[in-house]
Structure 1
Amino acid sequence: MLAVFEKSVSKPPKELSLSLPVAGRNCLNRWEEIAEIFRSWRSDCTFYHLSGGNFLALSHQDENPAIPRSVVVMDDIFCIFSGALHNTCDMRRYYGLSRQATEAVIVVEAYKVLRDRAPYPTDQVVKELDGKFAFILFDSKAPTLFLARDRDGSVQLYWGVAGDGSLVCTDDPNVISAACDKHYTPFPPGCVFMDRNGLMSFDHPLNKVRGVVREDDGGVIFQVDLYSRIPSIPRSGSAVNWANAAQVEGDY
């Protein structure tokens, strides 16, 4: 699977762009070049073209039967899913889906919950997905990019910056290397990225995920910083009302 988004569409962590394109880089500079090399290596690929040269592509070539790839397009939402969920039946019931609903459909429904019922905790939605997976979802109306990878990193997923600053996401190490030279890194296991919330760990949602520069090659790897904490959202609604009532009663 492959997705390319020009830099004005999605805003990934700034650490991913620490090494900006420079003359002499051995990488591809335009989305057309990236699409062409993927097409030449994956003759069976299907492209989903979006506005502004953004696109997603899927190929079943060299697909591992234990980690199948699937795609769904619903309500201008595009989702490519690689892997399998162990709790598919539970997720279908939870989201009120039919027995024919695929993992990609489940992810789209989960995204809709995040989009339409904000502020809904992103980590809780992804944490409920039990299995080996990685997915790329793009809501073309918002526009919003939504990425995730299971906590064990069972399915490959890389992201990087191409020569023109475009964000490249793929499960193919050869494609990401050709597109981004050394300016890419594995998407961190157990993490989810959503434009409005940034990169976060769904096991440690209150700890920051930081990009650390590798000393050997200058690349960046993302890790959960267990010594930093993100301020929790203040209580609101009935919870804070009960707390205030208890405080008033205590004062008397």
Structure 2
Amino acid sequence: MFAVFGEKIANPPQELSLPFKGSGNLKTREEVAALIGSGRSDLTMYKFCHGDFMALSHQDEHATCPRSSVVIDDIFCMFNGYLHNTCDLRRTYGLSRQATEAMVVVEAYKVLRDRAPYPVDQVIKELDGKFSFILYDSKDTKLFLARDRDGSAELHWGVAADGCLVCSDDPKLVRKSCGDRYTPFPPGCLFKSEEGLISFDHPLNKVRGIVREDDEGYSSAVIFQVDLFTRRLSIPCRGSDANWASVTVIEGD
């Protein structure tokens, strides 16, 4: 699965845009699209405004980590992996027995967006399995990513030459597109374009990008991890817009 979104929609973490030493081979959004389409006869691509797109191919798919996609109410979701508790989640969200994992994720997102009075991390915690997914709400122009807490399913992201965010379960593709401005998506985390990274297990702690430097002082890599010494305080909100509002961050020792 692949997704490329411009800076205004994706709002990628600043750490992914640092001037890494190996950033000279970055590709543009158009070049990334050509790279993804090369040699993939079964590619399904969803194109959006300003050249943004999502794409799915079953090439090199692992039997233990299948890919699927769904489009419901202008919400596009690509899912990689499986859920152990799909049956329970179908009952929770009133879905049929034919509902796939991608459908379950879309329904969970819709509940969070429209009706849920509880934090998003509580809902994602209910997903038990080996998974990663990319979801885009084209009406609200919001991007939503997540990966299981064990990092069992691949998900990588990076920033291309024109500042767009590149996401995929194929690390080689992200590396070719973004040079050294890429890194694995942190396990046990979700990313919302308007709020940034949030940890499932430590939702009140910030997730920071730790930048590594080589002997010459150049940034060589960035790894995201939970900062147990910096707290973020969620303010209870009401209404559909408020449920996705930004949190107030309080930093301390």
TM-score (normalised: structure 1): 0.88
Instruction: Name 2:225's counterpart in structure 1.
Output: 223
**CA–CA separation in structure 1 for the residues paired with 2:87 and 2:112:** 21
Counting only pairs closer than 5 Å after superposition, residues 74-89 of structure 1 correspond to structure 2 as 74-89=72-87
CA shift for structure 1 position 118: 5.7
Work out whether 1:195 is the aligned partner of 2:193.
yes
- The letter for the 2-side match of 1:3 is A
- The letter for the 2-side match of 1:223 is Q
**CA–CA separation in structure 2 for the residues paired with 1:189 and 1:87:** 19
After superposition, the Cα gap between the structure-2 partners of 1:119 and 1:164, relative to the gap in structure 1 and judged at 3 Å, is farther
Counting only pairs closer than 5 Å after superposition, residues 34-113 of structure 1 correspond to structure 2 as 34-113=32-111
- The letter for the 2-side match of 1:224 is V
**CA–CA separation in structure 2 for the residues paired with 1:197 and 1:120:** 16
- Contact map agreement 1:193 1:200 (CA 8 A) in 2: yes
- Contact map agreement 2:20 2:221 (CA 8 A) in 1: no
- The letter for the 2-side match of 1:28 is K
**CA–CA separation in structure 2 for the residues paired with 1:172 and 1:123:** 25
- Larger mean CA deviation between 224-233 and 44-53 belongs to 224-233
**CA–CA separation in structure 2 for the residues paired with 1:35 and 1:182:** 19
Q: Deviations over 1:25-81 (max 9, x none)?
A: 11212x221111111142321111111101000000111111000000011110000
- The letter for the 1-side match of 2:130 is K
- Following TM superposition, where does structure 1 have runs of at least 4 consecutive aligned residues deviating by more than 3 angstroms? none
Q: Deviations over 1:153-194 (max 9, x none)?
A: 001101110001111000111110111011011000000011
Calculate the aligned-residue CA RMSD, in Å: 1.9
CA shift for structure 1 position 136: 0.2
- Contact map agreement 1:81 1:136 (CA 8 A) in 2: yes
Segments of 5+ residues of structure 1 without an aligned counterpart are: 237-252
- Larger mean CA deviation between 7-16 and 67-76 belongs to 7-16
Instruction: Name 1:124's counterpart in structure 2.
Output: 122
Counting only pairs closer than 5 Å after superposition, residues 111-150 of structure 1 correspond to structure 2 as 111-117=109-115, 120-150=118-148
Structure ID, larger Rg: 1
- Contact map agreement 1:208 1:229 (CA 8 A) in 2: yes
State the number of aligned residues: 234
CA shift for structure 1 position 117: 2.6
**CA–CA separation in structure 2 for the residues paired with 1:52 and 1:119:** 34
**CA–CA separation in structure 1 for the residues paired with 2:166 and 2:150:** 22
Instruction: Name 2:160's counterpart in structure 1.
Output: 162
- Larger mean CA deviation between 205-214 and 115-124 belongs to 115-124
- Contact map agreement 1:21 1:164 (CA 8 A) in 2: no
Q: What SS does the aligned partner of 1:182 have? A: coil
Identity of aligned residues (%): 65
- Contact map agreement 2:11 2:194 (CA 8 A) in 1: no
**CA–CA separation in structure 2 for the residues paired with 1:232 and 1:169:** 27
